[in-house]
Amino acid sequence: MYILLSEIEVLGRIYVSYEGINAQISVPEARIQALKTALQTITFLQGIRLNFAIEDDGKSFFKLIIKVRHKIVADGLDDKTFDVTNKGIHLKAEEFNQLSDDPDTIIIDMRNHYESEVGYFKNAILPDVETFREALPEVEKMLENKKEKNIIMYCTGGIRCEKASAYYKHKGFRNVYQVEGGIIEYTRRANELGIENKFIGKNFVFDERLGEKISDDIISKCHQCGSPCDTHVNCANDACHILFIQCPACGSKYENTCSVKCQEFNQLPVDIKIH
């Protein structure tokens, strides 16, 4: 796969597992058809859906990395204890809009708190979790008395919901749905059809962009001064490198670090840092 994709100038991060393949990649626009043709040579990828980015500022990935993993997403589940192929019903954008208007429908964000902090679907429940592994039992507990309701779950590109929807069906939830292709495909299709886009704010993505603006709403705040801001950055102190939200003014004030402590550390001479 590495040789095949390298010849097409593909960059990105790909995880290969017994569960399947999860790829977040960038490719020159002129080579998109070549990519599709190459994927058709891999039997189990024939006809696969590709989610295309909403925004492209040219800095998503800078190299190609392919890793073999036991699981594509760390979920803490024993896949042998339930049918992972018995997944929730996929909803296209127009179907999601219709079902989400039903008062018996509950919308669940299966992402981490720092993702939903900058954007989410209207009326969605946003679990305060750090990881997908934490989200699974937390959501189950939140919905334990609502197993007859319509449960719609969503994530960035749909990968996490493939596993989560099967798990919740195994746990007795009757009407489990997932947004087909996640936020990315939902937005593309909503724009294509000219229908209401019920996602508010920015969609967090796991590449150098760190986000795609879906609506003009800024629903989050700078973690340092509290002003409206939805720009995620990593602390410039490599010994910290924490992900946080920072406005341009605070970026200048703190020299792109998350705190005075990290700012002062970055100002130390290199030899002192090494010691």
Locate 29 and state its tokens: 């626009």
What tokens does 40 get? 């058709």
Residue 109 structure tokens? 């964000």
Which one from 155, 229, 247, 262 is the annotated catalytic residue? 155
Pairing label, strands 212-213, 232-234: unpaired
Catalytic residue flag (residue 155): yes
3-state secondary structure at position 189: helix
Q: How far, CA to CA in Å, does 187 sit from each of 29, 48, 135, 197?
A: 20, 19, 24, 7
Helices of type H across the chain? 2-6, 32-40, 93-100, 113-116, 132-142, 159-170, 182-193, 248-253, 260-266, 270-274
The catalytic residues are: 155
